[in-house]
Amino acid sequence: MQKVRKAVIPAAGFGTRFLPFTKAVPKEMLPLVDIPTIEYIVREAIESGIEEVLIIINKEKECIRTHFGHNVVLEEFLASKNKTKELEIIKELPNKIKVEFTYQEEQLGLGHAVLCAYEFAKGEPFALLLGDDVYVGNKMPATKQLIAAYNQTASSILGTLEVPDSDVSKYGICKPLPNEKGTLLKLESVVEKPKLEEAPSNLAIGGRYILTPAIFDYLKTQTRGAGGEIQLTDAILRLMEKEAVYSLAIDGRRYDIGSKKGFLEATVDFALKRADLYADMRDIINERK
């Protein structure tokens, strides 16, 4: 069985839900305190044992590339001022992992974005992490949980969360085979953004996947689906005719950074987790009660 060593992070969307901020700055650079959200995603991949990361961007988003590379001028400046702590902060990640980039020329949908990773995957299974979903795993990072399930099944794994009826139409929804029980379930089908009355369950795909390279065969020929977009979920449904696909309930807290409420919740929680900010954030909250 091939190991999961690679991760793909699509980051080429327009971020229309966060306008006007996203007019000039990619939504992936929205900070949770002082770290861009996409850095949390890359760190989750590293902590899950991933060795190579590909970020899919567009021409307007070069600052994401800048963020993950060495900034020699800044490094020399900080060194000359003896700002060792700051120097460590900016050098740590580029020293730890080499992040590669590719461009999605047209925004044709998530399935189309993932197809841009074809060359990078080179026939290997890979983790797919969507930037809107930031996880704090209970015992281990979300992607590590999925890799463990892949190691057990040698199959594609869709990380899931349970959503209320009011939200099923916002997600890809899984239908497990009858009699499947527990947290790891073999799937019968998946459907992208169904109406409530057509939703087969409340198990929503939560922005984390392990995909076998066979997915590319289906992405190459995938026609447009929900919202007129080339949907990854539709290609996964076709993949199921050839290979088993499983869902795994992710054990952890998920923040939907794509929504303003999720972004604000994450900002508060991440500040509360920081020793240098805990007291200040508590004061801010208490003063407003």
Nearer to ligand G1P, 178 or 227 (CB): 227
Q: Cα(181)–Cα(185) distance, rounded to whole angstroms?
A: 6
Angle formed by the axes of helices 84-96 and 72-80, nearest 10°? 150
Minimal distance, residue 68 CB to ligand G1P, in Å = 22
Nearer to ligand G1P, 29 or 271 (CB): 29
Minimal distance, residue 232 CB to ligand G1P, in Å = 6
Q: Cα(190)–Cα(176) distance, rounded to whole angstroms?
A: 9
Nearer to ligand G1P, 114 or 121 (CB): 114
CA distances (Å), origin 269, targets 59, 162, 219: 33, 21, 37
Minimal distance, residue 27 CB to ligand G1P, in Å = 12
CA distances (Å), origin 224, targets 39, 129, 273: 31, 22, 42
Nearer to ligand G1P, 93 or 209 (CB): 209
What is the 8-class DSSP label of residue 227?
Answer: G
Minimal distance, residue 89 CB to ligand G1P, in Å = 29
Phi, psi of 276 (to 5 degrees): -75, -10
Q: Which of left, alpha, beta for 201 (phi over 0: left; psi -120 to 50: alpha)?
A: beta
Minimal distance, residue 150 CB to ligand G1P, in Å = 19
Minimal distance, residue 194 CB to ligand G1P, in Å = 10
- Return the residue nearest ligand G1P (CB atom): 172
Nearer to ligand G1P, 18 or 171 (CB): 171
Angle formed by the axes of helices 37-47 and 142-153, nearest 10°? 40
Nearer to ligand G1P, 39 or 132 (CB): 132
What is the 8-class DSSP label of residue 24?
Answer: T
Nearer to ligand G1P, 54 or 232 (CB): 232
Q: Which helix H or strand E contains 115, and what residues bound it? A: helix 110-115
Which of 68, 36, 30, 64 minimizes the C-alpha distance to 52? 68
Binding site for ligand G1P (CB under 6 A): 110, 130, 132-133, 171-172, 192, 204-207, 231-233
- Specify the residue for token string 């461009």: 103
Nearer to ligand G1P, 27 or 78 (CB): 27
Minimal distance, residue 238 CB to ligand G1P, in Å = 15
Q: Cα(205)–Cα(192) distance, rounded to whole angstroms?
A: 9
Minimal distance, residue 90 CB to ligand G1P, in Å = 30
